[in-house]
């Protein structure tokens, strides 16, 4: 009996040695997770993008702004004319915190009966919102802490309901998993069923084959978006503050990017099992580095650079901007072109790799 068990075990080891992709996953997945969770993921949010509108423009108000930036909680990126411009910057997603210091700032400090300024906080990210609220009780330079210095005003989700923050980003997570997995097995399935040889003999070009493969899934992805929105509104009372057409356009761009990634995976895998393995391998950094689970501003700079290459990062910003903040797609154009670029690049890669397989 022991001999038979050892024989089967030896056969399995030899199969794993021949399957380089599976063997690589055995090593790659633990390394990827330990690097992501140990290095890239940081719940201590720092350097949150902020703007300041200082109507007082006194030495004390300037010291206050300097102290806020010295706390490393926020990074002052620009100045604003007033609270209206701060709100516009929040709507456009250019900042997460607006610091408003009124013209009677010093008198408010002396009165000691009301907050001396206001914090305008982007409530679409609950982690950022909870960290930034610490600035409300920041003491003045050289003084002990007394009354709250700032009055925090949470925009977009003042009730702090989790579904309002999670569901918009969850749309992208679900689309990434399903779209990449569906198309990752597309070419592999054709090969396993013997249909690939038939496709080679037809006049269909590689680019036409790739585009034909992903076209039905674009419709399926938009149906999934509709289903998620309907269920979320019925169960969680999800607000839709922006235009629905903008959300569908953003979703279509993200779906195309995810499908192009799935096609590239399908040209790398030899079996459907390997295709699923590679899908999981792409899913881990996407969900961890996109700002869905952990605050993007809290990650190291290198991790943020990697996150900017991930399509889910840009769709999370688009979906939260449209659904939660009510922004228009034209205001979020900086998140649109990376999705287009990702789609074009990976479609070219998938087409070229498929050409090599035809040889």
Residue listed under structure tokens 């998620």 = 228
Distance of CA 30 to the CA centre of its chain: 22
| Cα distances (Å, whole numbers) of residue 188 to 20, 210, 211 | 17, 13, 16
By C-alpha distance, which of 58, 51, 61, 50 is closest to 140? 61
User: How far apart are the C-alpha atoms of 314 and 297, rounded to whole Å?
Assistant: 14
Distance of CA 32 to the CA centre of its chain: 18
User: How far apart are the C-alpha atoms of 4 and 211, rounded to whole Å?
Assistant: 49
- pLDDT by residue for the chain (359 residues), tens digit each? 666 566 666 655 565 566 565 555 566 666 666 666 555 566 666 778 889 999 988 888 888 888 888 877 888 888 888 888 998 888 887 888 899 988 888 888 777 777 888 888 888 776 777 777 777 777 666 565 556 778 888 888 877 787 888 888 899 999 999 999 888 887 777 777 666 666 666 666 777 777 887 888 999 999 999 999 999 888 888 888 889 999 999 999 999 999 999 989 888 887 787 788 888 888 888 888 888 877 777 777 788 888 899 999 999 999 988 998 888 888 888 899 999 999 999 999 888 877 544 44
In the chain, count H helices and then E strands: 15, 5
Query: Do 322 and 254 touch, CB atoms closer than 8 A?
Result: no
Provide the residue ranges of all domains of the chain, joining segments of one domain with +: 48-155, 162-358
CATH of 48-155, one of 3.40.50.1970, 3.40.1710.10, 3.90.420.10, 3.40.50.2020: 3.40.1710.10
């Amino acid at each position: 009996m022991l001999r038979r068990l050892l024989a089967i075990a030896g056969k399995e080891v030899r199969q794993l040695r021949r399957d380089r992709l599976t063997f690589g996953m055995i090593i790659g997945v633990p390394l990827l997770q330990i690097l992501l969770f140990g290095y890239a993921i940081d719940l201590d949010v720092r350097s949150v993008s902020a703007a300041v509108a200082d109507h007082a423009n006194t030495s004390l108000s300037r010291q206050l702004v300097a102290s806020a930036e010295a706390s490393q909680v926020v990074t002052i990126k620009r100045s604003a004319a007033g609270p209206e411009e701060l709100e516009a910057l929040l709507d456009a997603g250019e900042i997460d915190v607006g610091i408003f210091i009124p013209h009677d700032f010093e008198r408010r400090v002396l009165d000691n009966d009301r907050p001396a300024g206001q914090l305008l906080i982007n409530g679409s990210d609950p982690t950022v919102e909870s960290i930034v609220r610490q600035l409300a009780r920041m003491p003045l330079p050289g003084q002990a802490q007394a009354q709250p210095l700032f009055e925090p005003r949470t925009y977009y989700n003042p009730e702090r309901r989790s579904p309002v923050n999670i569901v918009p980003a969850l749309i992208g997570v679900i689309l990434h998993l399903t779209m990449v997995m569906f198309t990752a097995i597309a070419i592999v399935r054709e090969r396993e069923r013997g249909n690939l040889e038939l496709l080679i003999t037809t006049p269909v070009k590689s680019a036409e084959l790739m585009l034909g493969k992903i076209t039905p899934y674009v419709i399926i992805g938009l149906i999934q978006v509709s289903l998620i929105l309907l269920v979320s509104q019925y169960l969680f009372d999800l607000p839709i503050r922006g235009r629905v057409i903008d959300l569908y356009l953003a979703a279509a761009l993200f779906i195309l990017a995810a499908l192009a990634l799935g096609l590239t995976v399908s040209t790398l895998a030899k079996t459907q099992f390997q295709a699923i393995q590679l899908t999981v391998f792409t899913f881990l950094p996407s969900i961890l580095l996109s700002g869905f689970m952990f605050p993007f501003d809290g990650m190291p700079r290198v991790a943020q650079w990697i996150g900017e290459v991930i399509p889910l990062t840009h769709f999370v910003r688009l979906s939260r901007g449209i659904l939660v903040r009510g922004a228009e797609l034209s205001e979020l154009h900086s998140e649109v072109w990376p999705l287009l670029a990702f789609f074009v690049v990976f479609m070219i890669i998938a087409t070229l790799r498929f050409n090599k397989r035809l040889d």
